[in-house]
Structure 1
Amino acid sequence: MWSFFARDPVKDFAYEIIPDTQEKSGIWSLHRGKRKTSGEPVSVFVYEVAQGTEQQTQLAKAAFKRMKTLRHPNILAYVDGLETEKSLYLVTEQVTPLAVHLKTQAEKGGAGELEISWGLHQIVKALSFLVNDCHLLHNNFGVWAVFVDRAGEWKLGGLDHVAPEQGDPSGVSLPAPKAVYPDMEKYEPPEMSNSSGEKWAGEVWRLGCLIWEVFNGPLPRTSSLRSLGKVPKALVPHYCELVGANPRARPNPARFLQNCRAPGGFLSNSFVESNLFLEEIQIKEPAEKQQFFQDLSENLDSFPEDFCKHKVLPQLLTAFEFGNAGAVVLTPLFKVGKFLSADEYQQKIIPVIVKMFSSTDRAMRIRLLQQMEQFIQYLNEAAVNSQIFPHVVHGFTDTNPAIREQTVKSMLLLAPKLNETNLNQELMRHFARLQARDEQGPIRCNTTVCLGKIASYLNAGTRQRVLISAFSRATKDPFPASRSAGVLGFAATHNYYSITEIAARILPTLCAITVDPDKSVRDQAFKAIKSFLSKLETVSEDPAKLADIEKDVASCAQAGGPSSSWAGWAVTGMSSLTSKLIRNTPGTEGGTLEGGDPTNSNSPTGAADSAHAAHAPGRFNRFNRNPREKGVFTWMCPDIGFFFSLFFRAGRSSSSMTVKKQSSDWSSSGWDADDSWSNEKEGQGQSSAGEEGWGNDWGEEETDPTLATKTLPLPEGVRLASEYNWDSSNTAKGASQNDLFASVSQRNTANTTAEMSKKKREERRKELEAKRAERKAAKGPLKLGARKLD
């Protein structure tokens, strides 16, 4: 029992000191430490009674007391403490001495003026708090009394000599710093201690010494203060006031702060303004917060890294979690994320991103999709498939074309992380619907391009079922860039087709578009035909090479992208519709060509003949039936890798090349998720006769000879065209009453009879009206008051 009371209290202390982390800070030794339970990093100031004098022990106990009672955001924060007969332990937030911090920054190129300006602002504000609010004097103000936390913010410490202005009422007087530290005499003001100047005149003088040392290094002697050195010009007038010989002319810390905050002053900049706003963000109006976060994105590149990580990031996360900042926090959030390690990113930002995807805010959704490249590498497959993809797929059916387009493009980044079901079934179902039914030509084109880029991630069965049918459909699209995308899709995935498929299905499709009205499409078709023909010729000359050419046909999904030499095209090279649709700006805009080499006509990704780059009159005569819609497409790049730039007029909700929608959705047409692009069932993929450019989709491409003679059962009530009575002379007795043309003829006859009866009734009514008018005219006008005779 007695051993319990005799236990060493240091062993029961809740904090652990990390060995070999000692730094000297006055009479204290500064160590790094951590909380035993949570591992939270802290700093521990230790004073050993046995190693100090009586005066130093007295100062250490006074500092221990002041740390507990003084609370201010710019004063070193007290966390915990322990006082024993042998030692004093002061636990504070994790900090580094300013001298050490400046030395480290000098090795990296020096601390920037923005960081120093905010640091000085904080220290002067802490000094003003002591002098003006608490009526205390620090008496030990200098570089050694300033510490820097993880966010790069400066904290005032070294409270060993703090005393009231009028002296301690208890009569206890602390020794002066120069009595304890002989080398401190150079920081003493030139006037005598009994000078008639303000009590805080000495504090302000030491502030001038601090400013000199921050910019020029350790102060060798008092006379060195006369040499400005590297003190910034904007700070020189105010610095000279601090170190003036007349103590009465030295400004109060509050007035010094006010003078430096004036327009053009050293403390008047975007960094200081941002910090001041963040300190009061909880009481700001929502509109002010929105504007602040928008401006913050532009300034973050010039802000210190530690400040971004440890001060801006927590505020951004708080603003999203508990405020209504919305999508405006995304841009600065991802900028700050660049400074984080992989573990920090996974811990702090990924949970927020996952939550953002479930938001119904369209602005939030489209910005996430646009900036997915910045965080996709930190997302694990489980989170993508279970928490992100189910929300992203809603974008495929969104009424906003910009969201549909960005959703398609995002699949290029998500595809490597999707599981078997989501990639080969769910995604293919959405792609099939977009390519067949979306009214926006650029979105149909992007869908085709994206499919070609992610082909290597699909399993062999899906590739064989989907690719040829999808690219063949694209070659019949009324939008020229979509037809080019179909050709380039064939070329980019050429290694996934067997020789038989090339000869029987692909080449006939490509040959059909060698007479395309758009020359850029024709040029790409001829290039692709030559490439596929060379394969056929190679196998014809040497059949032993067949296995090598078809080695990738049945290959499993690969981790890398398409290996084709024609794969220089990408979704990111296409002009985005997003900005045009969101701004809804009237007028025309030209596109910007990205990627490729427009000067290299020999390269597969080079531009086509420049003479055919512009649209010739009547170029879209086959597809653009509405003369008012001509000229909507500003230009289409014939580059093999990148395509088009599309302009939408204000208020227009659909492009000029509108594809008619099918009358029923895919589930009712017999196309399930696994067979969205299959052409093995009768009627699948066939467009109505009125959909120009989409008719006869894939029926003529079937190569299975057994299907040519196979008789398929017809649905109830459906008859073959050959069974109808095509001869109008045979509509007499005995003809089927269900005959299509007979019923139409009967309806027409009935309509004609009804029209004739109506015409006769109208003529009869006009005759009666004429006769009444004649009788009235024969009797003459009646006089007023006269009786009408029968």
Structure 2
Amino acid sequence: MGNAATSLPYAIGNPVSTKDGWALHVGSRKSDNAAVSVFVAKKPALQKASQFAPALHHFHHCKRLRHPHILQVYATLDTDNPNEQGGVTAPPTKTAETGDFIVVTEPCIPLEAWLQTRPPPEQVAWGLESVVRALHFLHASANLAHGNVSPQSFYVTPAGDVKLWNFSLVTTIEQGQLSKHFQEWEGRLTPQPYRSPERQERRWDALAATGIHTMDTYSVAVLVSDFFGGTIPTPLVKACQRMQTPNLKMRPRLQPLLKCPLFDTPYQKLQLQLEEFTVQPVEQKIAFWQNLTPSMQAGLLPQELAVYKLLPIIQQTITTLCQSDALKSQDMYRREVLATIPPLFFIAEAYLGNKTSQELGPMVAILFEMNDRAIRGSLLQKTAFLLQHLDNNMLNQSVFGPACGGFSDSSPTLRELTLKATVEIMPKLTQPNLEKLSRYLVRLQSDPEQGIRTNTVIVFGKLAPFLTEVSRQKLLLPAFARALKDPFIPCRLSALKCLLKVKQFFTPAEIAGKVLPTVSPFLLDGSKDVRKEAFLVLDDFLFSLKQESEKMGDAKPMPVPGQPAPQPGVPPPQPKAAAPVAPAPSSGGYLSGLSSWVTSSAKPTEPVPVAAPQPVAPHQPPQSAPPPQTVASLQINDIDLSDGWGDEDDALDQIKTEISPVAQAKIQFVSPPPLPPAPGSEDDFFGSFNATKPAVKSSLGMPKGKLVVPKQSISLAPKPAIKKLSVDDDMEDGWDDF
């Protein structure tokens, strides 16, 4: 076809049929792969068959004639003149006969092939009406005679519309004469049965004198029998006889033929309404779309009409109205868009099949951008269908993103529809969109509608398998905990049931430390159903924990914080001896000096042993026993610190030097439970020893700075004997035994 053919934005496929030197190919548009038909005529073959002139005549006229019942031309190309932009081409030369004529049209098939499929009578009647309307346009508006009316001059589109073609003999009547081109080629191109008697007799003056329609009217009368399988319908018998009359002046025009009752069918009315659809009032369009879906559901419309004619009109309507800010802001145009949604989805569900994503996807993206509750609600109800036919990318960008606006809508119905739609689309969402969805769900847990809050809890349970581990830990348990505090009983029940469904996402430690404490308060819930469900949840979780506990075996010692875990085969390190602590300065008081003395008196090389817990003995009757030890096994009596606090460090140093090593090793402190400080006291001086604070005598009348502690009678538990220390009498300064 030459290099110039590659410049066309269309791909040329395999040939389908050939007529008069023109080969019909299937083709497609390169941009969107839309189907087209391509007519190709090779100039060398035309020249050889003596058909070059008729082919060139058709090539010039087909791209100039535009009518709904004439085959629509998308592009034309003469490979010898690729830069030609219309007008009259120069006469053929030797170099101009080496290329191709290429004409790209809407997809079509020959009329004979369509009639072999035995279409319904109403479609056949509409096809014949289309022929009449196309020829009437040529006669009345273009002042042309087709001159080659026969089955090979008509093609049928996928929508079932019969279109006029083959303009190789188109002629005008100029100065009372038909064109020389027609007179030369009509006998070779037009089949004999379709040539009127005056044409066979070559009475060109008679044809030119009686009107330009006469030769085509005769051919249409013959064509009627071809449309109806060789027979003429009864309502058309008289009309066809008159159309074939030898008297040229009695041969009628074609337009009155449409008054025949044969053409008056619901199918015809629908086709006529579609032709004038763009100029109809908005209210009439809305009524048409609302009545269209019931008609298709009843099977009153053929599939071809719905897919190839109605669907393009719906797509054009949605695109025009939704992309215009001025139109979509008006209520009546939003109502028209809303009315197109039911037939759009019915056609997609019933007829499109594998083409659903290609045809429906762009429309859904445009419709979701409309800020209208009714439109968005209609789309959300079709989420399950969209999920089956749209790819993940389109679902995440064109569907989920705009649909999230419904979560914040003031209409409870739209919020609930949005929530239910996300459950269906959830498996297709990406992780960022899942995180976005979880944030919206948290907001919905505070929704004023009880049903929405309950459904939100259920959605949380369904969302869990699609979240990451980190998101589940942060989201699930807090969400169910909020739901358990909801005053609506079904919401609390849903939270408990969802906890069981997602239990595999909780570790045993989380179940024991977080889940069970969250659920256990509801064992005493005010609702019987909640209590019953809470017990079921706890029983299930406890059974899981019991199994996990049996798998664990003997527990290993828990590691001390800040120390490395012990390695197998390596003995644990021994604790280091504590360094001696220097005594506190005298200004620290009696307690600081005594604590320093006790610390320095412990044996540095051996830690104080900790007694192992003993089993609790059964209760015995009370017996006479010595009172429990309260302070220590070491007693110091009659300590006199002379004139107050100044010499306490010297006295304590003397005490420490007199304690034997054996006594140091045997010192133990037994601490009873602490008692709260006496009311009104400034400090709990004995709190550091965890001892019971003795009653302090009043210091009235005593020297300033003196603190008197009365003697206590302390009975010690049976312990190894400890040597009592002797203290000089001159140290007595008001401190008694303790």
The interval holding the TM-score normalised by the smaller chain is 0.5 to 0.7
Q: Match for 1:160 among 150, 160, 168?
A: 168
Residue 336 of structure 1 and its aligned partner are, at CA, apart by 4.5
Q: What does residue range 338-487 of structure 1 map to in structure 2 within 5 Å?
A: 345=357, 349-376=360-387, 389=400, 391-424=402-435, 426-435=436-445, 437-487=446-496
Contact 2:70 2:164 in 1 (8 A): yes
Tell me how far 1:157 sits from its aligned partner: 0.5
Q: Is the 8 A contact 1:471 1:490 kept in 2?
A: yes
Q: How many residues get paired? A: 509
Aligned residue type for 2:54: L
Gapped regions of structure 2 (runs ≥ 5): 79-91, 554-738
Counterpart CA distance in 1 for 2:30 and 2:443 is: 58
Deviation at 1:493, TM superposition (A): 1.9
Structure 1 contact 300–308 (Cα < 8 Å) conserved: no
Q: Which of residues 33, 41, 58 is equivalent to 1:46?
A: 41
Change beyond 3 A, Cα 1:144–1:311: farther
Matches of 2:479 and 2:33 in 1, distance apart? Answer: 56
Q: Output the amino acid matched with 1:294.
A: Q
Deviations for 1:560-615, whole angstroms, at most 9, x for unmatched residues? xxxxxxxxxxxxxxxxxxxxxxxxxxxxxxxxxxxxxxxxxxxxxxxxxxxxxxxx
What are the within-5 Å matches in structure 2 for residues 291-370 of structure 1? 291-299=287-295, 302=301, 303-304=303-304, 305-322=307-324, 323-324=327-328, 325-326=333-334, 327-328=337-338, 329-337=340-348, 345=357, 349-370=360-381
- Are the aligned partners of 2:112 and 2:151 in contact in 1 as well (CA < 8 Å)? no
Who is 1:718 aligned against?
Answer: none
State the alpha-carbon separation in 1 of the partners of residues 40 and 176 from structure 2: 25
Q: Does residue 225 in structure 1 map to residue 231 in structure 2?
A: yes
Asked if 1:128 is matched to 2:136, the reply is: yes
1:85 paired to 2:75 = no
Question: Structure 1 length normalisation: TM-score?
Answer: 0.54
Contact 1:146 1:157 in 2 (8 A): yes
In structure 2, the residue corresponding to 1:24 is in which secondary structure? Answer: strand
Q: 1:93 Cα deviation (Å)? A: 1.3
Q: Which moved more, 1:193-202 or 1:61-70?
A: 193-202
Bigger CA drift: 395-404 or 293-302?
293-302
Q: Distance in 1 between matches of 2:376 and 2:104?
A: 42
- Whole-angstrom distance in 1 between the partners of 2:143 and 2:185: 19
The Cα of 1:156 is off from its aligned counterpart by 0.2
Code of the residue aligned with 1:44 in structure 2: it is: F
* SS in structure 2 of the partner of residue 158 of structure 1: coil
Rg larger in 1 or in 2? Answer: 2
CA distance, structure 1, for counterparts of residue 472 and residue 48 of structure 2 = 83
Corresponding residue SS for 1:450: helix
Q: Distance in 2 between matches of 1:503 and 1:241?
A: 96
Partner of residue 502, structure 2: 493
Query: AA paired with 1:282?
Result: T
Q: Please list the CA deviations of residues 339-361 of structure 1 after superposition, one character each: whole Å capped at 9, or x if unmatched.
A: 66878845x65455344434332
Q: Pairwise mapping of residues 626-705 of structure 1 onto structure 2 (< 5 A)?
A: none
Contact 2:21 2:45 in 1 (8 A): no
Q: Distance in 1 between matches of 2:123 and 2:321?
A: 24
> How far is 1:185 from its partner?
3.5
Correspondence 1:156-235 to 2 at 5 A: 156-164=164-172, 169=177, 172=180, 174=182, 179-180=187-188, 184-187=191-194, 200=213, 203-204=216-217, 206-207=219-220, 210-214=223-227, 216=229, 224-225=230-231
- Paired with 2:397 and 2:57, the residues of 1 have a C-alpha distance of 58
| 1:52 CA displacement | 5.7
Kindly provide the CA deviation profile for residues 534-560 of structure 1, in whole angstroms up to 9, marking residues without a partner as x.
54565466669xxxxxxxxxxxxxxxx
Write out per-residue CA displacement over residues 376-405 of structure 1, whole angstroms, 9 at most, x where no aligned residue: 466666666667655433322221101111
Task: Indicate if the aligned counterparts of 2:217 and 2:243 stay in contact, CA closer than 8 A.
Answer: no
1:416 to 1:330, Cα distance in 2 relative to 1, 3 A: same
1:98 is aligned, of 94, 110, 115, to 110
Distance, in Å, in 1 between the alignment partners of 2:442 and 2:455 is 12
TM superposition shift of 1:131: 3.5
Of stretches 380-389 and 116-125 in structure 1, the one that deviates more from structure 2 is 380-389
Among residues 208, 219, 237, which one is paired with 1:240 in the alignment? 237
User: Does structure 1 conserve the Cα–Cα contact (< 8 Å) formed by 2:407 and 2:419?
Assistant: yes
CA deviation map 1:127-155 (0-9, x unaligned):
22223444544332232111234555332
Q: Deviations over 1:26-53 (max 9, x none)?
A: 3433345678999885522416465568
Structure 1 match to 2:154: 146
Q: 1:29 aligns to what?
A: 23
Distance 1:199 1:473, change over 3 A: same
Cα distance, 1:460 vs structure 2: 1.6
Question: Whole-Å Cα distance in 2 between the matches of residues 499 and 247 of structure 1?
Answer: 96
SS at match of 1:89: strand
Distance 1:310 1:524, change over 3 A: same
Distance 2:429 2:414 in 1: 20
How far is 1:406 from its partner?
1.6
The whole-number CA distance in structure 1 between the counterparts of 2:422 and 2:3 is 60
Alpha-carbon distance in structure 1 between the residues aligned to 2:175 and 2:533: 91
Secondary structure of residue in 1 paired with 2:260: helix
Q: Any idea what the Cα deviations from partners look like across 1:415-466, whole Å, max 9, x if unmatched?
A: 3454545433x4333322322x212111112211211112111112222333
Contact 2:172 2:178 in 1 (8 A): no
Cα RMSD over matched residues?
Answer: 4.6
Contact 1:150 1:306 in 2 (8 A): yes
State how far apart, in whole Å, the 2-side matches of 1:162 and 1:388 are: 53
* Counterpart Cα distance in 2 of 1:430 and 1:353: 23
Change (3 A) 1:120 1:381: same
C-alpha spacing 1:341/1:537, structure 2 compared with 1 (3 Å)? same
Q: Which has the higher contact order (CA 8 A, sep 6+)?
A: 1
Distance 1:319 1:541, change over 3 A: same
Equivalence for 1:757 = none
Cα distance in 2 between the residues matched to 1:514 and 1:243? 92
CA distance in 1, matches of 2:212, 2:366: 56
The structural deviation recorded for 1:500 is 4.6
Q: What is the distance in 1 between the residues matched to 2:71 and 2:186?
A: 23
SS at match of 1:159: coil
The one-letter amino acid paired with 1:43 is V
Which of 251, 265, 273 lines up with 1:268 in the alignment?
A: 265
Whether 1:76 and 2:71 are equivalent positions in the alignment is yes
Q: % of aligned pairs identical? A: 26
Q: Which runs of 5+ in 1 are unaligned?
A: 1-6, 217-223, 227-235, 545-790
**How far has the Cα of 1:289 moved from its partner?**
2.8
Closer, same or farther: CA 528–180 of 1 in aligned 2, 3 Å = farther
The amino acid of 1:255's aligned partner reads P
- CA deviations 1:202-253 (Å, max 9, x no partner) are 645644554544454xxxxxxx426xxxxxxxxx444434544774698743
TM-score (norm 2): 0.57
Return closer, same or farther for 1:179/1:514 CA change in 2, 3 Å cut-off. Answer: farther
Change (3 A) 1:39 1:477: closer
How far 1:88 moved relative to its partner?
Answer: 6.4
Q: In the aligned structure 2, how far is the partner of 1:285 from the partner of 1:391?
A: 31
Task: Measure the CA separation in 2 of the matches of 1:8 and 1:453.
Answer: 61
Return the alpha-carbon distance in structure 2 between the equivalents of residues 237 and 481 of structure 1: 72
| Secondary structure in 1 matching 2:39 | strand
Q: Deviations over 1:154-200 (max 9, x none)?
A: 32012223345799626626359984269x33456799978999975
